[in-house]
Chains A and B, each alone.
Chain A
């Protein structure tokens, strides 16, 4: 536990890092907090970059907290600064030539885009930072033929915005269906239909083989002509700093159910942390605002109040594509069963246990699912069968 003279350093000033700083203050911590981020400016929201911001371009609306917040809460923000090294023995980080000492270190470094080894991939743009999104917005000011590599959340959100603006859009995906890691085949199909109805061309089972300044090459031999190429092929957790400090990493910085690494003075959270799934005990890594913020709150409670409960928040995700809001409560494995209800909601099961609920524009079912999945007792398929898969809180 921290005392009021402790120093906390948070590496990574995204939403999770900021939440950790905010939660430490809310829990009553009065010691020093230093939040170090690689990007310029104050912490901002990433989810809208591929949604509302692409449409509106209002960057101010992304800022999570104003400058005055950091002054009022005595949180030192070092932005535009990369942390080069952690010295766990002496308890400090090197940040751009400056030594910053810690009693507890929180790693919240997030992810970076995967750049697959495809010839010419340097011609493809990223959509990860505010700077990336601003450039894409500018590019969309004139008519474009867009080629998107990857039909995940980001690729499809971009495709929906670009197509609605009247641009020509082709999406190439290596998997046989969109968002295959995250949702059921049945839900994938609805999004395939949506994008095709919008006039977007979707090419599945087509891992891009090459990129040129004027298009992408598909394994079918076809070249898709394009003057705006977006690479949206997933992300890689930023673990190198932790790894070189000797912390175990395996698809993320490995933490226990307390979000603590193998070093009792170092926690990790959010997209860069591999933590035990509360339901299965399996090490998982989530890419979501929910996990980042819930991890942060949990870490703050442990550090300030000595809270020893295991992390057990229910995951949730969302994606806005055209007028579809996809909402996912819970976490299903790719091969979990899928039951499609008459209203389109998809219930996922591992054996007899409800693991996730996927909905489109159905906040009621989504929120009921979140509350059901948060209960201590698993929700059984057999009991749901008897009520035609209607979800209700008993």
Chain B
């Protein structure tokens, strides 16, 4: 189990429990974070699960996967160095306490 804190564009914080192995995207949707869409279900086809990993965690979530940066170029909101597709971050005990920020828009 890992706790994840989502911070919306408006600054609202929500901390939820995630199952190990679940993606940050799936965790957001399962917990009612409507700011994450995940239209393609984690197939890296749509860039609607864009998130910004909190600076304190950016090293631990690892680098973008192959093609992830190319998808992010088409994201609806500003792309930053900490931008990730949240479907590509799998949760593990190492990431317990992870904080991600959600963009203003996904489409």
Contacts and interface: CB of A to CB of B under 8 A. Distances in A.
Interface residues on B, range: 20 to 34
Interface residues on A, range: 20 to 34
Nearest to A327: B45
A66 interface: yes
B29 interface: yes
B interface majority secondary structure: loop
Contact of B45 (A62, A72, A316): A316
Nearest to B67: A363
Contact of B26 (A47, A61, A327): A61
B40 interface: yes
A267 to B, nearest CB: 20
A48 B41 contact: yes
Nearest to B45: A318
Contact of A320 (B30, B39, B43, B70): B43
Contacts of B71: 363, 367
B26 A66 contact: no
Given A72-B32, A371-B74, A293 B43 contact: no
A65 B29 contact: yes
Contacts of B78: none
Contact of B43 (A47, A61, A361): A47
Interface in A342-394: 361-364, 366-367, 370-371
Interface of B: 22, 26, 29-32, 34, 39-41, 43-45, 66-68, 70-71, 73-74, 107
Given A61-B26, A62-B41, A371-B74, 7 more contacts: A66-B29, A66-B30, A289-B39, A293-B39, A316-B45, A318-B40, A320-B43
Interface of A: 26, 45, 47-48, 51, 61-62, 64-66, 68-69, 72, 289, 293, 297, 316, 318, 320, 325, 327, 361-364, 366-367, 370-371
